[in-house]
Amino acid sequence: MAHEIRRIAVSTGGGDAPGLNAVIRAVVHAANKRGWEVFGIRDGYNGIFLKERYPNGTGIIPLTRERVRGITHLGGTIIGTTNRGNPFKYPMPQPDGTIKETDRADEVIAGFREHGFDALIAIGGDGSLSIANDLAKRGNIRVIGVPKTIDNDLEGTVATFGFDSAVSFATEAIDRLHSTAESHHRVMVVEVMGRTAGWIALHAGVAGTADVILIPEIPYDIAIVAEKINERERAGRHFSIIVVAEGAMPKGGTASVIEKELGKAERFGGLGEKIAAQIQALTNKETRCVVLGHLLRGGSPSAFDRLLSLRFGAAAVRALEEGQSGVVVVLDPPTVRYIPMEQVAHRVRHVPLDCDTIATAKDLGISFGI
Active site residues: 151
Which residue among 31, 150, 314, 329 contacts ligand F6P (CB under 6 A)? 150
Which residue among 125, 156, 301, 313 contacts ligand F6P (CB under 6 A)? 125
Any residues with CB less than 8 A from the CB of 157 and at least 6 apart, and which?
147, 328, 330, 331, 332, 344
Nearer to ligand F6P, 85 or 139 (CB): 85
Nearer to ligand F6P, 170 or 181 (CB): 170
Q: Is 19 in the site for ligand F6P (CB under 6 A)?
A: no
Residue 65: CB minimum distance to ligand F6P, A = 30
Which residue among 142, 297, 306, 349 contacts ligand F6P (CB under 6 A)? 297
Residue 35: CB minimum distance to ligand F6P, A = 36
Interface with ligand F6P in residues 73-102 (CB under 6 A): 83
Q: Is 170 in the site for ligand F6P (CB under 6 A)?
A: no
Query: Could you tell me if 209 and 272 are in contact, meaning their C-beta atoms sit under 8 angstroms apart?
Result: no
Stretch that binds ligand F6P, among 68-76, 96-104, 187-195, 332-340 (CB under 6 A): 187-195
Nearer to ligand F6P, 61 or 271 (CB): 271
Nearer to ligand F6P, 21 or 287 (CB): 21
237: number of Cβ within 10 Å: 13
Which residue among 9, 10, 13, 15 contacts ligand F6P (CB under 6 A)? 15
Nearer to ligand F6P, 149 or 171 (CB): 149
- Burial readout 70-105 (b: 16 or more C-beta within 10 A, e: otherwise): ebbebbbbbbbbbbebbbbbbeeeeeeeeeeeeebb
Distance CA 294, CA 273 (A): 17
Residue 150: CB minimum distance to ligand F6P, A = 6
Distance CA 137, CA 121 (A): 15
Residue 294: CB minimum distance to ligand F6P, A = 6
Q: Is 198 in the site for ligand F6P (CB under 6 A)?
A: no
Stretch that binds ligand F6P, among 33-41, 53-61, 188-196, 205-213 (CB under 6 A): 188-196
**Interacting residue ranges for ligand F6P, rule: CB under 6 A:** 15, 83, 125, 149-151, 193-195, 246, 267-268, 297
